[in-house]
Amino acid sequence: MNHPALARYPLALPGHHLLQVLHESENAIIVLASAPGGQPVVIKRFKFDASKLDQYLVDEFLMESLALGLLAHRGLVRPIDAGLLAGALYMIMEYVPGHTLRRQLSLMPLPPLEQALQWFTEITLALGEIHGIGLLHQDLKTSNILVRNDNSLALLDFGLETRLLVATGFMREDEIYCTPYYISPERIIGDPPDERTDLYALGVILYELLVGHKPYESTSLEELLKKQAIAPIPLLPATLHAYQPLVNGLLAKFPENRLQSTNIVVRLLQDIKQK
């Protein structure tokens, strides 16, 4: 397959036939391919030169990819394999037909409440699986969530490569690796991420699912980050008032005041539904 990105960042995996470039970001190329058995897979080929990395960083990436693959949770796009070939670090993932939740919400900005809560629950449970093995997502947003053809969701694009981007110079250590609309206040000031950082992004998605737009919006990056840091948590419409404690608990400005785990989030949602 001829493609300018692959000409610059080649990848030739034995037995794999590259079919189509699905996406190109600043850091990686996403390619649809045919595996040796004929089944479709997705390959993420990172652009940085991994041959210059310390071996322990590569080993950590490979082990974390394996750990995610062993979860076999339907709410996660499962890594199948990962490796290093001629300086190119790659991850092979299952191919999930569908489109992103971001696209879905652009077509249907305000899903029915039952559907919104179902999606939110699926995202929360999948995030809990990641946290359960000691990993973080670090870039949770609607464009990193796939809507399968049966309307169920699957998370993708886990933040496994963040340390590698810093080590190879693709990202500064003090640079924020996430999306401004979903960034937590503590990340804006440079504090390290933890589970509660992901939970803040989860709160942004909840608000978006319930109301049809993000809690904080601006055409100015500076103004948007300021709102994330200090603006009051927006109030839900009166008809959704019962879910305000959940929104407040996820969008709390200080991580110590935030809901502390996905298990707590699920329990609070169940309590609200039962009232």
Q: Specify the pLDDT at position 108.
A: 87
pTM listed for this prediction: 0.89
* Among 75, 94, 113, residue at a domain's last position: 94
Does the pLDDT of residue 2 top 90, yes or no?
no
Does the pLDDT of residue 172 top 60, yes or no?
no
- Tell me the average pLDDT across 220-225: 90
Please provide the average confidence, as pLDDT, over all residues in the chain.
88
* Residues 108 and 39 occupy one common structural domain: no
Does the pLDDT of residue 210 top 70, yes or no?
yes
- Tell me the average pLDDT across 208-236: 93
CA distance 171 to 163: 9
Residue 169 lies in a domain: yes
Does the pLDDT of residue 171 top 80, yes or no?
no
- Tell me the average pLDDT across 250-256: 97
CATH of the domain at 90: 3.30.200.20
Residue 12 lies in a domain: yes
Q: Specify the pLDDT at position 51.
A: 80
* Residues 90 and 102 occupy one common structural domain: no
List b or e across 147-159, with b for residues whose CB sees 16 or more CB atoms inside 10 angstroms: beeeeebbbbbbb
* Among 59, 94, 129, residue at a domain's last position: 94
List b or e across 233-259, with b for residues whose CB sees 16 or more CB atoms inside 10 angstroms: beebeeebeebbebbbbbbbbebeebb
CATH of the domain at 212: 1.10.510.10
* Among 74, 94, 114, residue at a domain's last position: 94
Q: Specify the pLDDT at position 173.
A: 47
Looking at per-residue pLDDT, the higher value among 118 and 169 belongs to 118
Q: CA dihedral defined by 141, 143, 147, 153, rounded to 10 degrees?
A: -20
Q: How confident is the model at residue 159 (pLDDT cuts 50, 70, 90)?
A: low
The domain in which residue 59 lies consists of: 8-94
Q: List residues bridging with 146 in a β-sheet.
A: 100, 154
CA distance from start to end of the chain: 57
Q: Specify the pLDDT at position 227.
A: 93
Looking at per-residue pLDDT, the higher value among 172 and 132 belongs to 132
Q: Specify the pLDDT at position 64.
A: 83
Counting the structural domains of the chain, the total is 2
- As annotated, the active-site residues are 139
pLDDT in tens, 27-60: 889 999 999 888 999 999 888 777 877 888 888 8
